[in-house]
Amino acid sequence: MKYEYLIVGAGLGGLECGYWLAQKGHSVCVLEKNPQIGGCLQSFHRNGISFDTGFHYVGGMAEGEILYQLFDQLNLLHLPWHQLDADCFDEVVWNGKTYPFANGYDAFAEKLSTFFPNQRQNILNYADFLRKSQPKMADLMAPANPESSSFQMMATSAYQFMNQMITDDTLRNVLCGTSLKMELHADTLPLYIFAQINGTFLQSAWRLKGRGTQIAESLANDIRAFGGEVRTNCPVSGFEEKGGAIVAALVRDERVECEHLIANIHPNALFPLLPENLLRKTYRRRISELPNSTGMFTVNLKLKKNKVKYVNHNLFVHNQADLWGVNPDATGRIRSAGVHFAVPEREDSVAHGTLFAENIDIFCPMKWSEVARWADSHVGRRGEEYEVFKQKKAEEAIALVAPYIPGFQENIDAYFTSTPLTYRDYTGTFEGSAYGIRKDYDHLFLTMLPPKTPVPNLYFTGQNVNFHGVFGVTVSALQLVKGLIKE
């Protein structure tokens, strides 16, 4: 069968493109090499508990807010969304002292100002900047304009902006303390990415009750209901070309023909599959050599029954001098960690009027260089040295956050770990990068991956286009589909 649109990679961006195209009546087929769809939305089951790999919470999901409107279009509002505490949705611990982040730009500024009374005006200015920088749906649907404020912010340094706006070193690091959702790279991070991600979460913050895979499953089910296909265990071994365009993907012994190809995979995973004559070597080399953002080390913990209280906010713990450019530091020591509590699902998680946590996840930045020596290995076959390495890292991460979670350390029932190698093997991200290709405000058009490629019917979507995260990936998918439907 020949499809109008063949999408390789059933991560969030690929599934969203598939949804919107199939909804408009186009024939769509999404191919996923793994047994499970979702990419970074994938979940896994251990010791009777489900854990998420990369999805933990989203911002801007209250009625009328930007992600609410996007998810309304994608039929995702029916999922069991659970709002975090508005008076403290994120808690930042900076060198032993805690600071609550409240939802709502005014509430956020007023609450944080009680800790930094001499910086009150700067905090108000910061909150107002984030408020004004948030896009509206009309902005997302408008044609790209190099003169727009979004382009200007993409070409502005987040680090320099924060240094100019916030004169107090502690406050500046606290304001950036929830930013394990991005890579705080002082030399490259565009202000636009910093503002969009942090600003969206200040609107409202939400978790899913249950697995993040529910998002992927909902999109896939709707694609099928629209007449499209989503196929798993379908690794693409190559593509056929005719007249300078891609005409088919080779999947085992099958040719899957297409008019257009959307790649929701990293360029370094796509290029080896393309006919050599299809792209110039200079283009391949330029894209392939772009630096990638850092990865993550994760500890997924199952807790003893009814021992640790559920916390309806996220915790970010930092024990260092400066978040920018030293996270992770050269020694590999874990000095920053994000903690996410899963919404309890068991009926017996409530005891004596108290809701108890079943499992939590700890996330810590980790450079690829720390695990590069095992790069040629595969899951479950990396050897004893690797297991010892992970155990040491897990103990560091647990020790860092334990003082801020009452009863936590002594009530761990079991834990499971993953490194950038794990992310690479299960999600296909290059070198286990958590945020895709590193965007550079000073070299914007070199590091921003355009959705259109030199091949007339080949397009990119996903975290390497525009910016990463649920919001960034969704915007990229929307804008790609908008352009395709107009063509």
| Identity of the residue numbered 394 | A
Which single residue is written with the structure tokens 């999947």?
251
Domains and CATH numbers, the chain: 2-43+211-290+449-486 (3.50.50.60), 87-203+292-430 (3.90.660)
Q: How many CA atoms lie within 13 A of 224 on its CB side?
A: 9
pLDDT of 461 strictly over 90:
yes
In whole angstroms, what is the distance from residue 40 CA to residue 58 CA?
A: 14
Answer yes or no: are the C-beta atoms of 432 and 420 closer than 8 Å. Answer: yes
Residue 413's SS3 state is: strand
- Tokens in use for 207? 């978790």
With a CB cutoff of 8 Å and minimum separation 6, the contacts of 387 are none
Backbone angles phi, psi at 278, to 5 degrees: -80, -30
pLDDT for 487 = 63
pLDDT for 452 = 94
Q: What is the mean pLDDT of residues 438-462?
A: 92
pLDDT of 328 strictly over 60:
no
pLDDT for 331 = 67
Answer yes or no: are the C-beta atoms of 133 and 90 closer than 8 Å. Answer: no
pLDDT of 329 strictly over 70:
no
Answer yes or no: are the C-beta atoms of 52 and 24 closer than 8 Å. Answer: no
CA angle 436, 441, 444 (to 5 degrees): 75
Q: 141-150, 231-240, 337-346, 424-433: lowest mean pLDDT where?
A: 141-150
In whole angstroms, what is the distance from residue 466 CA to residue 460 CA?
A: 11
Q: What is the mean pLDDT of residues 260-264?
A: 97
Instruction: Report the chain's terminal Cα–Cα distance, integer Å.
Output: 23
Nearest to 259 by CA among 240, 276, 245, 244: 245
Nearest to 450 by CA among 267, 291, 194: 267
- In tens, the pLDDT along 123-177 reads 999 999 999 999 887 777 766 666 677 778 899 999 999 999 999 999 999 999 9
User: 393: pLDDT confidence band, cut at 50, 70 and 90?
Assistant: very high
Answer yes or no: are the C-beta atoms of 240 and 256 closer than 8 Å. Answer: no
Nearest to 483 by CA among 280, 265, 262, 287: 262
pLDDT of 321 strictly over 80:
no
Backbone angles phi, psi at 154, to 5 degrees: -65, -30
In whole angstroms, what is the distance from residue 258 CA to residue 302 CA?
A: 45
Strand arrangement of the beta sheet that strand 97-101 belongs to? 97-101, 90-94, 314-318, 336-341, 359-366, 295-303, 412-418
User: 379: pLDDT confidence band, cut at 50, 70 and 90?
Assistant: confident
Nearest to 29 by CA among 268, 249, 246: 249
- Tokens in use for 477? 């998918």
For residue 243, the 8-state DSSP code is T
pLDDT of 318 strictly over 60:
yes
Answer yes or no: are the C-beta atoms of 256 and 111 closer than 8 Å. Answer: no
As a whole number, the mean pLDDT across the chain is: 92
Q: Where would I find the H helices in 45-148?
A: 66-73, 105-113, 120-133, 137-141
pLDDT for 142 = 67
The secondary element (H helix, E strand) that includes residue 257 is strand 254-263
Position with higher pLDDT, 171 vs 444: 171
Percent of the chain with pLDDT over 90: 80
Strand arrangement of the beta sheet that strand 205-208 belongs to? 58-59, 205-208, 81-83
pLDDT of 64 strictly over 80:
yes
Answer yes or no: are the C-beta atoms of 465 and 212 closer than 8 Å. Answer: no
User: 433: pLDDT confidence band, cut at 50, 70 and 90?
Assistant: very high
